[in-house]
Amino acid sequence: MDAHDALQHRENIIESCVIQARHLHTLRRVPIFMTALCRVRQGQKRLQWDEQEMLAGPQHLVLMPAGRELGVSNFPGAQGHYIADVVSFPVSVLRQFMARYGEQFARSAPGHVNTELCVRLDKQTRQAWDQLLVALNSGAPAALCTHYGEAVLLCLCLSGQAGPLLMGRNDPLSERVQRLMMSNLSKDWTIAAAAHQLNVGESTLRRQLANEDASFRSILENVRLAAALQRLQTSSDPIGEIASACGYASPSRFAVRFKTHYGLSPRALRAAI
């Protein structure tokens, strides 16, 4: 399997990770590049979006649609830790689900589409979520994990709560650029190189990104910082190594950019974890 095939394969599978922390920490402007669902096992998560705010615990499922930028605070629970499972859903899985159940989604809540990003788990959704995590954590085949992932989406759909995840999925060019950059974070990306791999002209790429209120430079910065955030939260790799892997030649510059964006330095985040 060559690099391109490996990337395509990775983009077509549901994946999960566990976020843990020992101390309260707050992150502002967290960009969501791949649609995901999050459930807190221990502690609570405060979510801020569109001038709204909500506190989520184990009884909730947090919806994290691609393209959003969220404010997040993670609070350790009585046991002394914050622990949450996060499951990401690639665009291909969402498209496949909509092709199969789109009509059901349209009928589930006529005249009303939920816009909340924090929804209370019902019995069916909780059971489907637990089955999905078991499949992912046991290394089940990708097709089986997709089946359980679609079961979670269907439960949300039938209860009228899937709106933020499934509305407006038109695969904008900015998301294609994001996925391209995520395939090789350490690459010295230029707009010319990205345009070549996306089979569009450089001027066309600039113009279409501007039409989406985006820019190549801002996308590259956000992708690198988001990848660094995930690695800081889910691995014990040294901060300097993470900075290099995410395309930063200078660990000090990376630390400045990270703190400016998230309001918390990489070292302070690691201390909280």
**190 vs 165: CA distance, rounded Å:** 31
Exposed, middle or buried by CB within 10 Å (0-12, 13-18, 19+), for 240? Answer: middle
For domain 173-272, give the CATH number. Answer: 1.10.10.60
pLDDT in tens, 76-87: 999 899 999 999
Q: Which CATH number fits domain 14-166: 3.40.50.20, 2.60.120.810, 3.40.50.300, 2.60.120.10?
A: 2.60.120.810
Lowest mean per-residue pLDDT among 31-45, 73-87, 97-111, 139-153: 97-111
Question: pLDDT digits over 8-20, tens only?
Answer: 445 578 999 999 9
Q: What is the dihedral of CA 109, 115, 116, 121, to 10 degrees?
A: 30
Q: Are 181 and 219 in contact (CB under 8 A)?
A: yes
Whole-prediction pTM: 0.78
- Domain ranges (residues) in the chain: 14-166, 173-272
